[in-house]
Amino acid sequence: MRWTNRGRSENLEDRRGSSGTGLRLPSGRMSLGLLVVLLLASVIFKRNFFALLGGDGMTGPQQEAGQPYQGTPEEETLVNFVSFVLDDTQEVWRQKFTEMGRQYRAATLVLFTDGVQSGCGSASAAMGPFYCPADEKVYIDLGFYRELRSRFGAPGDFAQAYVLTHEIGHHVQHLFGIDRTVRELQASSPGSENAIQVAMELQADCLSGVWANSTDQRQLLEENDIQEAMNAAAAVGDDRIQKQSTGYVSPESWTHGSSEQRMTWFVKGLRSGDPAVCDTFAAFAR
User: CB-based contacts of 241: which residues, under 8 Å, 6+ apart?
Assistant: 40, 43, 44
**What pLDDT is stored for residue 189 in this prediction?**
87
pLDDT, residue 285, reads 64
According to DSSP H, which parts of 55-156 are helical?
A: 73-99, 143-150
Containing structural domain, residue 139: 12-285
If DSSP codes are grouped into helix, strand and coil, which group holds residue 226? Answer: helix
Q: How many Å apart are CA 125 and CA 89, to the nearest integer?
A: 23
- pTM for the predicted model, two decimal places: 0.83
Per DSSP bridges, beta strands 121-124 and 115-118 are antiparallel
6 occurs within a structural domain: no
Nearest to 183 by CA among 200, 161, 168: 200
**The predicted structure's pLDDT at residue 134:** 97
Structure confidence at residue 222 (pLDDT): 95
pLDDT of residue 58: 35
Q: Give dist(CA 108, CA 86) in Å, integer.
A: 9
pLDDT of residue 4: 95
Residue 2 in any domain: the answer is no
Task: With respect to residue 4, please indicate whether it lies within any of the assigned structural domains.
Answer: no
Question: Quick check: is 197 in a domain?
Answer: yes
Does residue 240 lie within any of the structural domains? yes
Note whether residue 5 is domain-resident: no
**Number of domains the chain contains:** 1
Within a domain: 48: yes
- Residue 120, pLDDT score: 96
Identify the pLDDT of residue 121. Answer: 96
pLDDT tens sequence for the chain (286 residues): 999 999 999 999 999 988 565 443 333 333 444 555 555 555 555 555 544 444 333 333 444 445 678 789 999 999 999 999 999 999 999 999 999 999 999 999 999 999 999 999 999 999 999 999 999 999 999 999 999 999 899 999 999 999 999 999 999 999 999 999 999 999 998 889 999 999 999 999 999 999 999 999 999 999 999 999 999 999 999 999 999 889 989 999 999 999 999 999 999 999 999 999 999 998 666 6
Residue 64 has what pLDDT?
Answer: 43
* Residue 3 maps to a domain: no
User: Considering Cα of 128, then 91, then 14, then 231, what sign does the dihedral take?
Assistant: positive
Q: What's the pLDDT at 19?
A: 56
Is 251:257 a contact under the CB 8 Å cutoff?
Answer: no
Q: Give which of 118, 273, 120, 103 is closest to 176, Cα–Cα.
A: 103
